[in-house]
Amino acid sequence: MTCDRLVCANCAGPVCEGRCAVCRASRERLQHQNGPLAGLSPAALIALVVALVAVALLAQQTA
């Protein structure tokens, strides 16, 4: 889950903006839970998978 669409119960602002201490703490917790690829959009993840498949196919043809 990303914090893009989450609304803070404390300040009623978007969590991704980090307006208050509660927002900032929630944003940090989500970033640590999700890992390095969590911030990527679905389109970016699909492009990454396609690129990896293309590299694998090229490696297989040259070997």
pLDDT value for 28: 85
**Encoded tokens for 28:** 């940090």
Question: How much is the pTM?
Answer: 0.47
Average pLDDT (23-34) is: 80
Q: Is the per-residue pLDDT at 47 higher than 70?
A: yes
| Residues 22 and 10: beta-carbon distance below 8 Å | yes
pLDDT tens across 1-22, in order? 566 778 888 898 888 888 899 9
Q: Is the per-residue pLDDT at 36 higher than 70?
A: no
Residue spans of the domains in the chain: they are: 15-62
Helix then strand count (H, E) for the chain reads: 2, 0
